Amino acid sequence: MILEMRDVAAGYGGVSALRGVTLHVDEGETVALVGANGAGKSTLLKSISGLVRPTAGTIAFAGASLAAVRAPARVALGIAHVPEGRDVFGSLSVRENLDLGAYALGRRRSARELDALRDAVLERFPVLRDRLERSAAELSGGQQQMLAIGRGLMAKPRLLLLDEPSLGLAPSLVDQIFAIVRDLRELGVTVLIAEQNARMTLAIADRGYVLENGAVVAADTGRALLASPQIVERYLGIG
């Protein structure tokens, strides 16, 4: 088990955002976190990467508690967070944005190491290779999302947290992004992905958790969740 959360609660001031969340992610899995806007998906990912501090419960990564580990050190442990809104650095080039992902690891890499790492990532994103020296601001929304995911991969993460990668993208780009996420499993990357697009996310996930008002209300394989009329009608707002 790479990630284990037990009875985690978190909030903002007096507002409770997570209540008693228990979940796990095994190595090599793609796990989906679905639920309506405001259900707590982003807060859950932030509690793992260290941007939100839980008020109760425990989070363990590779068997060790994260309680005393601050956010930058969590990156070094292998937790990469691709936040909602693909916040790439517009004035930097595509190459510089990618390389920042590797620097987040906390140790310097040689130019040769960096080139090899970048080449491996660019194999997944040929469209970025063609635009390597352009500024990130010149990329389309879908390309910026690819860049954000690519930057996450540059950290060689043991766990990649993806927050709403399909948000605001045109349907054809949404398909492309989901194809990329699906392919990550073949690369051996372990993924926890939060999405409002429940149907597509559960279709590519090994397992999924449904969040409602900060609590896990259902957990099963992606396929079983999608096959349950109650789940689909009650929580997913689809079908």
**Euclidean distance between CA atoms 166 and 200, whole angstroms:** 10
Q: Is 42 in the site for ligand ATP (CB under 6 A)?
A: yes
Q: Is 37 in the site for ligand ATP (CB under 6 A)?
A: yes
Q: Assess contact for 155 and 80: CB atoms under 8 A.
A: yes
**Euclidean distance between CA atoms 167 and 112, whole angstroms:** 35
CB of 36 to ligand ATP, least distance (A): 7
Interface residue with ligand ATP, options 30, 43, 49, 197 (CB under 6 A): 43
Q: Is 222 in the site for ligand ATP (CB under 6 A)?
A: no
Binding mask of the shown chain, residues 75 to 94, with x at each position contacting ligand ATP by CB under 6 A: ---------x----------
Q: Assess contact for 8 and 56: CB atoms under 8 A.
A: yes
Which residues in the 12-31 window bind ligand ATP by CB under 6 A?
A: 12, 15, 17
The stretch near ligand ATP (CB under 6 A) out of 41-49, 65-73, 101-109, 123-131 is 41-49
Strand (E) or helix (H) holding 114: helix 111-124
Q: Is 38 in the site for ligand ATP (CB under 6 A)?
A: yes
Strand, helix or coil at 233? helix
Which residues in the 96-135 window bind ligand ATP by CB under 6 A?
A: none
